[in-house]
Amino acid sequence: MTREVIIAEYFQMWITKDFSKLTEYFAPEICYTECYGPQYVGLDEVQQWIKNESAKQTVLEWQIDEIKSVDNQSFVKWFFKAHEQTTYEFDGVSVIQWNAEGKISKLDEYQSKSDHIRPYQIK
């Protein structure tokens, strides 16, 4: 299975709320840092976070715009939309490290507002 397929299937897990393949894709020593600060170290912490988060949040869309892989890293540009008490969305980037077994061992997320302005656009 390619890295691109693993990434796409992981993103889809959030929409379907079916995380049954998570241990196939994430290494036991995974270090996952969300785009707004929380960090989960080890598969147990990641699974607890997913359980709590998916109970209160519904992911409506997690669209991959681009994936680039170099050596043991992948860079993923994406758009995310979810609903908790309100619906929210943002653009983001994930930097993913792969271990020798082809599993995700580190994942760092970064976000940007999805509404972009061009304050210096010439009219």
Q: 88 near 82, Cβ under 8 Å? A: yes
Which range marks the domain in which residue 82 is found?
3-15+30-113
The pTM of the full predicted model, rounded to 2 decimals, is 0.92
Q: Is residue 38 part of a domain?
A: yes
pLDDT tens for each residue of 43-96:
999 999 999 999 999 999 999 999 999 999 999 999 999 999 999 999 999 999
CATH of the domain at 88: 3.10.450.50
- Cβ 83 vs Cβ 60: under 8 Å: yes
Q: Is residue 23 part of a domain?
A: no
∠ Cα 63 108 97 (to 5°) = 95
For the chain, the domain total comes to: 1
